[in-house]
Amino acid sequence: MSARGFFVTGTDTGVGKTYVACALLRAFAARGLSVVGMKPVVTGAAMDEHGAITRWDDVDALTAASTVQAPVSLVRPYAFEPALAPHIAAARAGTSIELARIAAAFCTLSAMAELAVVEGIGGFRVPLNAEEDTADLASLLGLPVILVVGLRLGCLSHALLTAEAVAAQGLRLAGWVANRLDPQMPAFADNVAALEARLPAPLLGVLPYAPGDASAAAAILATSRHLDDLLR
């Protein structure tokens, strides 16, 4: 595929992929681009007091950060109620996740904007069906990858292994974002420096511990000296 965009992955689940994907959408929009976000597979719906599905928070956040409003069926081709691994959630729903369906939705969606940001689910090698995982999806879409590193104990190995997995898929690691998850993490700057020296891509920004403050993240990424390089 030759659409213009990026695939956002993370070192683990809960490291801020949606947070960073939304910040990227807003940063690119601030440069005058029409942008659209996509979450091909989402699990874990928000429920009301009667147990009825009300929304998927990640999808709502991406939609709010997009300048192009697209049909929800394209933004999230697969959505499952329980907060489970995607292939397990799909099996319990009596279905299977098909990468071809996601790719078709992406082709339609990406034609609606100048740039698309696709957010993965969990880490880079999360199973999607009996044979394929999110690495296969990223490879099928063929987008440059942006890695969100959740800065906490253990992040160095997770980040370096993910970078190796991205390279093994023949994909380009376009950049990475350091997202501080633990405000008390010791040797924080030393960990960031270790990753800067070892990851084969530029550091796009260091996000402070600021739960829910998407505007701050967008401002940091918007001023990154590497952001314009991503668009070349």
CATH (domain of 223): 3.40.50.300
How would you classify the pairing of strands 203-207 and 173-180?
parallel
Spacing of C-alpha 118 from chain mean position:
6
CA-to-CA distance for 231 and 157, rounded, in angstroms?
Answer: 29
* Strand, helix or coil for residue 9: strand
pLDDT band with cut points at 50, 70 and 90 for residue 54: low
pLDDT greater than 60 at residue 1: no
Joined tokens for residue 186: 């010791």
39 part of the active site? yes
CA-to-CA distance for 19 and 221, rounded, in angstroms?
Answer: 12
Amino acid letter for position 197: A
List pLDDT tens digits, range 97-149: 999 999 999 999 999 999 999 999 999 999 999 999 999 999 999 999 999 99
User: What is residue 221's predicted lDDT score, i.e. its pLDDT?
Assistant: 92
> How many domains is the chain built from?
1
Residue in 17, 26, 39, 180 annotated catalytic:
39
Query: Domain limits at 69?
Result: 5-230
